[in-house]
Amino acid sequence: MDLNLMINDPLAKLKEGGFVEKIVKSHLEKTTESVVSDSLRSYSDFGKNLSKQVE
């Protein structure tokens, strides 16, 4: 029993089908959304400055 083959063959098929790229894209989208959201929150430096400008 070759454990490397048991893992590598299905992984290669997932990669060929674009599954790995889809997962990476999904996580990048979620991370980017989270970073932007955190950066624009009311307690962020940007949010605080925006509040001061509005006042």
Question: Other C-beta atoms within 10 Å of 47: how many?
Answer: 14
- Are 51 and 42 in contact by the 8 Å Cβ rule? The answer is yes
Question: Other C-beta atoms within 10 Å of 20: how many?
Answer: 13
Question: What are the structure tokens assigned to 23, written together?
Answer: 């997962």
Q: What is the pLDDT of residue 43?
A: 87
Residue pointed to by tokens 């400055």: 49
Q: What is the pLDDT of residue 53?
A: 93
Q: What is the pLDDT of residue 36?
A: 94
Instruction: Express each pLDDT in 1-55 by its tens digit.
Output: 889 989 999 999 998 999 989 999 999 999 999 999 999 998 899 999 999 999 9
DSSP assignments along 6-26, one per residue:
HHHHHHHHHHHTTHHHHHHHH
